[in-house]
Amino acid sequence: MTVILLDPLRPEVLPLAAMKFVVGPVLVTEDVHPTTLWALQNATAAPVHDDGDPLTVLISTDRTHPLVRARTERGEVVIAVQRHSGDSLIEAVALMDTLRRNGPWESQQTHDSLRRYLLEEVYELLDAIDVGTQDDLREELGDLLLQVLFHSRIAADDPTAPFDIDDVARSFVAKVSHRTPGILSGEHSDLETQIREWEERKAAEKARGSILDGIATTAPALALAQKVLERLAAAGFPKPEVDHELLSVTVDVGGRSTEDITRQRVLDLMDRVYAAEASAQAAGVVLSTPQDWLEHLGVADGYVAQEDSDGDEVPQSSALPASSDSPAATSEAATPELTPTEDPLPEDASSPAASEALSEESARDDGSIPAADVFEESASEESVTAQTDLAAADDDVSLDDYYGSESIDETTAEAGAEGNDTQTRAPDAPNVVPRSPRED
């Protein structure tokens, strides 16, 4: 007569189309939960072998059950609960719950003990994206999903602030729904509008006290540096106050850990930012321009104002005489600029011959700009300094645009006795911000 297939994860859910068939005699296979058998007045356990009675209805959760196969081969109607995308996640949650309760290893794990596995799974997933097959990618995504399920199940046991996988899913739905209203409502499908809505609503949610809030300092040093520099660029932080060593990496074979060195430089820069923000907050100032930052970084005294061609004051290094006939090198951008006070070009480098030699020395294949092209020669041949465009960047600024307008003049030292190549800075080279590699 009819076969009704229930969802094993939702045995109490009966398809509407099957309701009229369960008022008469019903046979239930052993895989169906007992509560279903008890809920149906005319239900009995199905025999081991098919009795061939066409007047009975068979209820099961297993499409491969022998009785189900026998009836479907006979041509009986099959009514099944409709499956939806994501239904298998319920099976995964149930499996994780069982392992957490009964597994001797799973029951002992904590958020902290799983840290190493989470990190390993992320790197393995990235490797599968780069060089793996679709099967590799599917497997690694499953391993990463295990970590999400595991941490959520551990959190459900927390005695003070428990949450479970459903809370995690609800958090995802609430966040994304709030930040993409135009897309979800069909109001628009414009990428720039979507990004703007996301960022505006994110900023309103976070109400951050610092431009660095939300940055994970446990990230790898290079990722941490990039994130911090992106935030500083968007906040109008003065470029000369960024340690230029953060914009390039030199690996010293056999020397100190490049990871540790880079991380410490980033943390030191973050400490300066926090201190400046605290000073500005105490003064009731919003840090939005390079001049504001310099004031609260405590280095404004190292800069003096000079009249530009439009009569506006341009902060400039106090190492230069504050006169209109000092031909300091300037940026092409018609925006306020700042000049660092350190590292003036040596006098012998200001001659045409020295400039030409320095240009030839610097013209390498790595795309760096020769120092002779960056710095213009002083008419008096007494002092020359670099100026860097310090216009406050908007939220769409790229690191290449913000940090990459000049480059450090670097030379490659001759191989040492041990055969190691070391990248060094030219003697007495100006403190110019190096070119940043463009993002992928």
CA separation for the pair 417, 426 (Å, rounded)? 21
Q: What is the pLDDT of residues 346-366, one digit of tens each?
A: 444 444 444 444 444 444 444
The structure tokens listed for 51 are 């009795």
> What pLDDT does 148 receive?
97
Q: How many residues does the chain have?
A: 440
Q: What is the pLDDT of residues 183-203, one digit of tens each?
A: 999 999 999 999 999 888 887
CA separation for the pair 368, 374 (Å, rounded)? 10
> What pLDDT does 420 receive?
40
> What pLDDT does 209 receive?
78
Q: What is the pLDDT of residues 59-109, one digit of tens each?
A: 999 989 999 998 888 888 999 988 888 888 999 999 999 999 999 999 999
> What pLDDT does 171 receive?
95
Q: What is the pLDDT of residues 359-408, one digit of tens each?
A: 444 444 444 433 333 333 333 333 333 333 333 333 444 555 566 544 33
> What pLDDT does 200 receive?
83
CA separation for the pair 30, 37 (Å, rounded)? 10
The structure tokens listed for 416 are 């040492």
Q: Collect contacts of 293-299 with beta carbons under 8 A, ≥24 apart.
A: 293/236, 293/237, 293/238, 293/241, 294/238, 294/241, 294/338, 297/238, 297/241, 297/272, 299/241
Q: What is the pLDDT of residues 126-144, one digit of tens each?
A: 999 999 999 999 999 999 9
| Percent of the chain predicted with pLDDT > 70 | 67
Would you place residue 218 in the very low, low, confident or very high pLDDT band (cuts 50, 70, 90)? confident
Q: What is the pLDDT of residues 10-47, one digit of tens each?
A: 878 888 888 888 888 888 998 888 877 788 888 888 88
> What pLDDT does 201 receive?
87
Q: Mean pLDDT for the chain?
A: 74
pTM of the model: 0.55
User: Average pLDDT of 293-320?
Assistant: 57
Higher pLDDT, 68 or 316: 68
Element housing 403 (H / E): helix 399-403
User: Average pLDDT of 329-345?
Assistant: 40
> What pLDDT does 33 receive?
82
